[in-house]
Amino acid sequence: MDYFGFDGVDEAELRRERAKARELRKSRWWKQKISQGTCYFCGGKIAAAELTMDHLVPLGRGGRSTKDNVVCACKTCNTTKKTMLPMEWEEYMDRIKTKGFTK
């Protein structure tokens, strides 16, 4: 078990999933997603070139590089989310909203 409290995924599996993510980035589907220019998490309008691919369930926590597990995210949200699961991200955002912080 690591620092985040979960068992890691083996390196070979991570390499396979990262390769799948690279292929998805080349797809027409992904190009259409980023052309919308919207961050999945904050809803901000971002230039397509500035959007990143984020795995809702991170690869290190057993997620896969599939269309239903990847979203467009701004770099700030993607970096902040790190390895959080969707429910952990929601809790994080609720805490920020409660404290009155904004991005």
What's the pLDDT at 96? 86
Mean pLDDT across 33-45: 96
The runs of H, that is alpha helices, within 27-99 are 28-35, 75-81, 86-99
CATH 2.40.110.10, applies to 11-99: no
What's the pLDDT at 100? 64
What's the pLDDT at 56? 96
Structure tokens at 9: 């995924």
Rounded-to-integer distance, Cα 73 and Cα 32, Å: 14
Q: Facing residues of 87 across strands?
A: none
Q: Where are the domains of the chain?
A: 11-99
pLDDT at 21 over 70: yes
